[in-house]
Amino acid sequence: MSGKIRIIEEKCVGCKLCEKACPFAAIILVDKKAKIDLDKCTLCGACVDVCEKFQAIELILEEKVTTINLDDYQDVWVFAEQKEGIIQSVVFELLGAGKRLAEKRKSKLCAVLLGDEGIKDKASELIYSGADKIYVVSAAELKNYQDEPYARVLTELVKKYKPEIVLPRATAIGRPVIPRAAVELGTGLTADCTGLEIDDETGLLLQTRPAFGGNIMATILCKNHRPQMSTVRHKVMKEPVPDKERSGEIIEIIPKADWLISRTKLLNFVKEIEATVNITEADVIVSGGRGIKGPENFKLIESLAKVLNGAVGSSRACVDAGWIPYSHQVGQTGKTVQPKLYVACGISGAVQHLVGMQSADTIIAINKDPNAPIFEVADYGIVGDLFDVIPELIKAFKESI
Amino acid sequence: MNIVVCIKQVPDTTEVKINPETNTLIRDGVESIINPFDTYAIEEAVRIKERLGAGKVTVITMGPPQAEDALKEAIALGVDEAVLLTDRGFAGSDTLATSYTLAMGIKKIADYDIIICGKQAIDGDTAQVGPGIAVHLNLPQITYVRKIEELKEGYIKAERLEEDGYGVIESSLPVLLTVVKEINEPRLPSLKGKMRAKKQEIVKWGVDELGLDKDKIGLKGSPTWVNKIFAPERKKGGKVLQGEPKDMAQEIVKELKKGNLI
């Protein structure tokens, strides 16, 4: 995509609307006229929209001549991640999202499943949850995730079967493998989508994702390249109810030897299951912040988590202070979580923390400071000393559960 | 052992806020910083060099001329050389165009055993440029590295962080790594480093110096396209309780029961 943008100076009244609207800080006012910094401008058109009244900004987009035939590309693909032969729960959510898109495009929902010999037996699980067609590639080298062979196999399959949309999960497997495939294929990739829709008019995939740490949302298009690929954030889509009556097609593909070459090798995997469950999967999370005062007081957080059958989270401050391991950190530089219930204890609510937890269904915040920003996102705010409140909460929950 | 570190200058996103009335970004006084994840990449590279007592660390970024500030900061933190890829033609690059451009810059640096990137940048959060560079340069990669266990001529063994634990992965060199926060604790710039940063020349390359394919850079080389930008829906503050801890606790339990949450 390319194009030209300019300010029509005679029409510009210096109202600053465009300056404020520009998400990329590319417009500044010089002598009461808007000036566009072309190094920063991405031709997104936000300024043109706000200048409707004065029509002082001219944007001409040159649609790139497409060298591929877009109609050759059909179907929606889901990348079915597995670990130790078990299809990860995140995949089923993805099938739910993919099904909706496939129906709208009147195409098929397919899944790609890579693993060792035994993996074929799992393909039917994907069919029960909505897939019409499963591409299975099995080889000893594909037993565990490895960047190079996984990316290569995906690339080869896409080249051969030409899907219109490819959806992997935004996980420690999906995020490194898909950009490799996207670069090989020379197509676009949008990361961490929280919303996926089909545009009624153009049939294009509208890929919505947070940017600037969740402070803005952006909708991204991939107009002239195929497939349209997006990694999808965890726990933002609903999981379909499996239907064991469903049938589908299973296609086995024999990988060529050179697809399986890997310069890296996984020697072993160390599971780190601590006293608490993985926070990205948990339905209830109780988190501690600076207000808990010291590492010993995470015991209090743990006891509350235990009563609620939840996991323990933390703000960045406690992780930086060495009170709790990094794997518990919620927020921008930690993990994004979406539990049913999130209890924030002694967390003031810096924006970096909020972006990691604000999509929880219900949020309870406990804080001494009634002006703490955490209360702005909380469904229930408790103004008080957490050392008094938490023991009472534990008692009250114990009595009621 | 020669190391290239890729960094990005980003706005401090904690400062980027939305004006609730106009639904637009307030950027007044927003500072530019080195992407926090990249500071771990810089630190790791400098540590490797210090440990081995040999080799060179080169930092590279793509950005507008003012991205030079980020490179100067990296020099103050101990890197030896700095390269700025800057050209009007790079404007509007998405992750595909960016990874191509950076890869071509690294190719021109030529002599490297390891490329280190932060796991992602805090403004875009894509985590795509590192793996993208690896493909353009035909390199293996180890992402989310939390510890380098072993490093010697032509060989690396590292721990890769996943959601439920970590994998121990070995690779041949050259290799591209992306690192997570757990890997180290970055140092502060030294006075000597700051002095050196002031004096040191930054190498600048544009489209012509790199001999780039103009169809692969900037907006033209970017398949993805920002169509719309808007403010996220924020939760409105809910019920605020004050008073005796015991009463508040019981009130919460009652409310959660009502909502079938417990």
Does residue B97 register a pLDDT over 50? yes
Position B235 scores a pLDDT of 62
Partner residue facing A264 (CB), from B99, B142, B162: B142
Taking the C-alpha atoms of residue B45 and residue B41, their distance in angstroms, rounded to an integer, is 6
Mutate to test the interface with A, among B33, B129, B161, B227 (most CBs of A within 10 A): B227
Chain B residues close to A180, C-beta within 8 Å: 131-132, 134-135, 141
Helix, strand, coil percent values for chain A (each to nearest 5):
30, 30, 40
A53, with CB counted inside 10 A (0-12, 13-18, 19+), is exposed
Does residue B139 register a pLDDT over 50? yes
Position A120 scores a pLDDT of 94
Helix (H, G, I), strand (E, B) or coil at A59: strand
Cβ contacts of A208 within 8 Å, gap of 6 or more: A193, A194, A195, A196, A197, A217, A218, A219, A220
Per-residue pLDDT, averaged over B228-237, amounts to 70
Chain B residues close to A385, C-beta within 8 Å: 245
Contact at 8 Å (CB) between A205 and A75? Answer: no
Taking the C-alpha atoms of residue B229 and residue B23, their distance in angstroms, rounded to an integer, is 10
Q: What is the count of residue pairs from A and B with beta carbons less than 8 Å apart? A: 315
Does residue A275 register a pLDDT over 50? no
Six-digit token string for B125 = 């959060």
**Helix (H) / strand (E) containing A274:** none
Six-digit token string for B42 = 């810089």
Q: Which residue has tokens 């924006």? A: A351
From residue A280, how far is each of A340, B199, B206 by CA, in Å?
A: 12, 47, 42
A389 touches chain B (CB under 8 A): yes
CATH code of the domain in which B185 resides = 3.40.50.620
Residue B49 lies in a domain: yes
Residue B145 lies in a domain: yes
Does residue B195 register a pLDDT over 60? yes
Position B19 scores a pLDDT of 58
Asked if A183 and B171 come within 8 Å (Cβ–Cβ), the reply is no
Asked if A396 and B250 come within 8 Å (Cβ–Cβ), the reply is yes
Confidence class of residue B261 from pLDDT cuts 50, 70 and 90? Answer: confident
Position A180 scores a pLDDT of 97
Query: What's the domain count of chain B?
Result: 1
Q: How far apart are the first and last CA of chain A?
A: 58
Position A113 scores a pLDDT of 97
Per-residue pLDDT, averaged over A79-108, amounts to 93
Position A271 scores a pLDDT of 85
> Across all residues in chain B, what is the average pLDDT?
91
Residue B71 lies in a domain: yes
- Amino acid at position A235, single letter: K
Per-residue pLDDT tens for A316-346? 999 888 899 888 999 877 888 888 899 999 9
Helix (H, G, I), strand (E, B) or coil at A213: helix
Looking at per-residue pLDDT, the higher value among B182 and A141 belongs to A141
Residue B256 lies in a domain: no
Chain B residues close to A266, C-beta within 8 Å: 167-169
A122, with CB counted inside 10 A (0-12, 13-18, 19+), is middle
Asked if A191 and B128 come within 8 Å (Cβ–Cβ), the reply is yes
User: In this structure, what are the phi and psi dihedrals at residue A227, rounded to the nearest 5 degrees?
Assistant: -75, 165
Partner residue facing B136 (CB), from A177, A183, A350: A183
Residue B73 lies in a domain: yes
Does residue B146 register a pLDDT over 80? yes
> Please, what are the domains in chain A?
2-62 (3.30.70.20), 70-259 (3.40.50.620), 284-400 (3.40.50.1220)
Does residue B218 register a pLDDT over 70? yes
Asked if B162 and A41 come within 8 Å (Cβ–Cβ), the reply is no
Asked if A41 and B11 come within 8 Å (Cβ–Cβ), the reply is no
Q: A112, A4, A130: which is closest to A60 by C-alpha?
A: A4
Does residue B119 register a pLDDT over 90? yes
Asked if B238 and A381 come within 8 Å (Cβ–Cβ), the reply is yes
Asked if B144 and A362 come within 8 Å (Cβ–Cβ), the reply is no
Asked if B231 and A370 come within 8 Å (Cβ–Cβ), the reply is no
Give the nearest chain B residue to A188 (CA atoms): B223
Residue B110 lies in a domain: yes
What's the predicted TM-score (pTM) here? Answer: 0.85
DSSP state of A134: E
Domain region containing B143: 3-216
Does residue B28 register a pLDDT over 80? no
* Minimal C-alpha gap between B81 and chain A (Å): 25
Does residue B27 register a pLDDT over 90? no
Does residue A276 register a pLDDT over 70? no
Per-residue pLDDT tens for A155-209? 999 999 999 999 998 889 999 999 999 999 999 999 989 889 999 999 999 999 8
Q: Dihedral of CA B84/B89/B95/B96: which sign?
A: negative
* Minimal C-alpha gap between B232 and chain A (Å): 6
Residue B100 lies in a domain: yes
Give the nearest chain A residue to B99 (CA atoms): A183
Taking the C-alpha atoms of residue B24 and residue A182, their distance in angstroms, rounded to an integer, is 32
Position B21 scores a pLDDT of 56
Position B18 scores a pLDDT of 58
Instruction: Report ipTM (2 d.p.).
Output: 0.89
Residue B230 pairs in a beta bridge with: A217
Contact at 8 Å (CB) between A238 and B259? Answer: no
Per-residue pLDDT, averaged over B49-59, amounts to 96
Percentage of the residues of chain B whose pLDDT score is greater than 90:
74
Partner residue facing B222 (CB), from A1, A216, A395: A1
Taking the C-alpha atoms of residue B36 and residue B23, their distance in angstroms, rounded to an integer, is 27
B-proximal residues of A, 84-143, CB under 8 Å: none
Chain B residues close to A270, C-beta within 8 Å: 165-168
> Across all residues in chain A, what is the average pLDDT?
90
Contact at 8 Å (CB) between B184 and A288? Answer: no
Residue B236 lies in a domain: no
Per-residue pLDDT tens for A21-56? 887 778 989 999 999 988 778 787 888 888 988 999
* Angle in degrees, 0-180, between the axes of helices B129-136 and B95-109, rounded to the nearest 10: 50
